């Protein structure tokens, strides 16, 4: 009993640290401190939990801590920053798996082992926990597989897919509601668990890797809500607070991602987004104008302002350090250098911010879409690095385009645009980009990292 006050005090302190940590993540300048506070909060919560009198085996807990710490350390040390989306997907899967296992074991302990009655409130928490936790596990693992290119990243669809997905979810929900009134039906409980695992796969299957920012935010929300339900199921206050913070912040983030991609939240929730679309845009007239690295270097060296627009191509080429080196070379010549970040550039929210931060690009040089677009008319050169849809003017000008209405970085309004691209294809989305055919656009083909390094050397020699 004497430790209960210490445990609750530890949980209160941990919750406060979580809240301030989340607040810190709202700004790049305070993000590192925010992460440190959140990590400290988790440490306090773990230490407080170790004083719980109901702990059966400290030996198993210590083994779990060692194994988990080794896995986490290995992922942090040896994982390249370009693989951050995959690492985040795995984190969502692990967190949701923990919640699901707690829910399953708690149900088994009461309904099967002890054969004690389960209250409607507890059964509601357990069902919610397992339902959302299970679909998050398989959904996040499938997202990881797509991002890691262990399976094709393009949408996988079939006839009647949405009907099947919704039907499965409704069936699982009906079983969930039935179990609230009759929790003794253990067979139905495990059927619900299986349906939830299956639904997670079917939910992410039709979503292309280009739409992963929305998926990542949504999985984050589901994992948080499952953790909050775990807290209600086992009477743990810190899990309730942390899970609620994670769940609702992830849900808000998914709404923001939808807005940035011009998608509705209902479209996301029912899994009917990311399916392939027919490019109904008018055929683009003209040819792509190829330029040499020497010509581009000359433009950059004598420009007044240069804006870099990174996309997923920068991540795949691991070119963030080369971008920073070129930026520094230009800054030494007195050129104003800025970096334009689209909310959904990359494969997870903040993907480009993370990569540029790793390359020590100062936060003050990063500009969001709303900040940089008014400056495009006064920009001499825009350098687009592996981005397609986020700079496609058809989203603004062509109402028949599949991406019509999506906010873009308006690089076409700058005096000159240089696009770094591996080849002449349409890119992942399969949508033609008229920007590539405009008179003020030059195409620099090849590996982005090699091209940027060559440009940096040419700028220094000019």
Buried b (16+ CB within 10 A) or exposed e, 261-281: bebebeebeebbbbeeeebeb
Residue 317 has pLDDT above 60, yes or no: yes
List Cα–Cα distances, 212 to 208, 234, 276, in angstroms.
7, 33, 14
In the set 211, 389, 394, 412, the catalytic residue is 389
Q: Which pLDDT does position 274 carry in this prediction?
A: 44
In the structure, what pLDDT confidence band is assigned to residue 283 with cuts at 50, 70 and 90? low
Q: What is the dihedral of CA 433, 434, 438, 440, to 10 degrees?
A: -40
- Predicted TM-score (pTM) of this structure: 0.80
| Domain-wise residue ranges, the chain | 79-269, 293-461
Which residue is associated with the tokens 């589901």? 222
Burial of 296 (0-12, 13-18, 19+ CB in 10 A): buried
pLDDT tens digit string along 407-455?
A: 899 999 999 999 998 876 666 556 788 999 999 999 999 999 999 999 9
Would residue 246 show up in a list of annotated catalytic residues for this protein?
no
pLDDT tens digit string along 325-347?
A: 999 999 999 999 999 999 888 87
Mean model confidence pLDDT for the chain:
87
| Longest distance between any two alpha carbons in the chain, whole Å | 81
Q: Which pLDDT does position 323 carry in this prediction?
A: 95
Q: What is the mean pLDDT of residues 457-461?
A: 88
Task: Name the class of domain 293-461.
Answer: alpha beta
**DSSP line for 408-431:** ---GGGSSEEEEEESSSS--TT--
- Single out the residue of 282, 303, 291, 261 nearest to residue 414, CA to CA: 303
Instruction: Report residue 204 as tokens.
Output: 């992410």
Report which of residues 259 and 36 the model is more confident about: 36
Q: Which pLDDT does position 268 carry in this prediction?
A: 55
pLDDT tens digit string along 182-209?
A: 998 999 999 999 999 999 999 888 877 6
Q: How far apart are CA 56 and CA 155, in angstroms?
A: 46
């Amino acid at each position: 009993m004497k430790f209960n006050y210490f445990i609750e005090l530890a949980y209160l302190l941990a919750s406060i640290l979580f809240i301030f940590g989340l607040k810190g993540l709202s700004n790049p300048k305070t993000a590192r401190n925010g992460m440190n506070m959140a990590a400290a909060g988790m440490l306090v919560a773990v230490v407080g939990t170790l004083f719980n009198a109901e702990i059966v085996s400290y030996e198993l807990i210590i083994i779990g801590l060692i194994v988990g710490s080794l896995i986490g350390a290995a992922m942090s040390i040896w994982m390249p920053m370009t693989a951050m989306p995959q690492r985040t997907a795995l984190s969502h899967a692990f967190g949701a798996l923990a919640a699901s296992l707690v829910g399953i074991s708690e149900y088994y302990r009461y309904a099967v082992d002890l054969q004690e009655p389960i209250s409607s409130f507890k059964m509601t928490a357990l069902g919610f926990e397992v339902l959302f936790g299970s679909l998050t596990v398989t959904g996040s693992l499938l997202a990881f597989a797509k991002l890691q290119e262990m399976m094709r990243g393009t949408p996988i669809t079939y006839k009647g897919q949405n009907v099947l997905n919704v039907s499965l979810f409704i069936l699982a929900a009906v079983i969930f509601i039935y179990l609230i009134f009759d929790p003794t039906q253990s067979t139905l409980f495990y059927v619900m668990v299986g349906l939830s695992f299956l639904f997670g796969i079917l939910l992410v299957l039709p979503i292309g890797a280009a739409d992963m920012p929305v998926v990542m935010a949504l999985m984050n929300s589901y994992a948080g809500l499952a953790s909050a339900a775990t807290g209600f199921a086992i009477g743990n206050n810190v899990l309730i607070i942390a899970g609620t913070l994670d769940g609702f912040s992830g849900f808000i983030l998914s709404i923001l991602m939808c807005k940035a991609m011009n998608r509705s939240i209902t479209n996301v929730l029912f899994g009917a987004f990311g399916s392939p679309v027919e490019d109904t845009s008018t055929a683009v007239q003209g040819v792509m104008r190829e330029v040499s690295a020497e010509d581009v270097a000359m433009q950059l060296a004598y420009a007044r302002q240069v804006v870099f627009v990174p996309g997923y191509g920068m991540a795949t080429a691991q070119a963030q350090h080369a971008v920073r080196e070129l930026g520094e070379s230009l800054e030494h010549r007195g050129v104003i250098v800025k970096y334009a970040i689209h909310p959904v550039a990359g494969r997870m929210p903040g993907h480009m911010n993370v990569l540029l931060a790793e390359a020590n690009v100062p936060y003050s040089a990063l500009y969001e879409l709303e900040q940089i677009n008014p400056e495009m008319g006064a920009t001499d050169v825009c350098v687009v690095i592996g981005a397609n849809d986020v700079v496609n003017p058809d989203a603004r000008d062509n109402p028949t385009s599949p991406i019509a209405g999506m906010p873009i970085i308006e690089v076409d309004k700058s005096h000159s645009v240089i696009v770094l691209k591996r080849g002449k294809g349409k890119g992942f989305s399969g949508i033609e980009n008229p920007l590539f055919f405009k008179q003020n656009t030059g195409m620099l083909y090849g590996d982005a990292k090699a091209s940027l390094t060559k440009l940096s050397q040419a700028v220094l020699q000019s």
